[in-house]
Amino acid sequence: MFLINSDIDLEPIHHGGTGSYSENPEQPPQWPEKFGSGTLNTPGIAGLNAALTLYEARRHENVSRETILS
């Protein structure tokens, strides 16, 4: 998540390879594409989702187990 006052105009620090405007060497002017150079880490996002889903499913089991162990 990226929060900033709309009156502030930030410039991207990385340029090119947005995927949505690949033919243009400049970053697109609109948000969030303006700050999204490179390829989206889809496997990383899917892995994080799977890890959080597993954690949520086993959270109560782990708390009980940790309580017994301590």
pLDDT in tens, 29-42: 777 677 777 777 88
57, part of any domain: yes
Most confidently predicted of 6-10, 12-16, 24-28, 51-55: 51-55
Give the total number of structural domains in the chain: 1
Is residue 34 within 8 A of residue 18, CB to CB? The reply is no
49, part of any domain: yes
Q: Which domain holds residue 50?
A: 40-69
9, part of any domain: no
For the chain, give the mean pLDDT.
Answer: 76
Residue 47 has pLDDT above 80, yes or no: yes
Reported confidence tier of residue 10, pLDDT bands at 50, 70, 90: confident
Residue 20 CB contacts under 8 Å (≥ 6 apart), including other chains: 28, 33
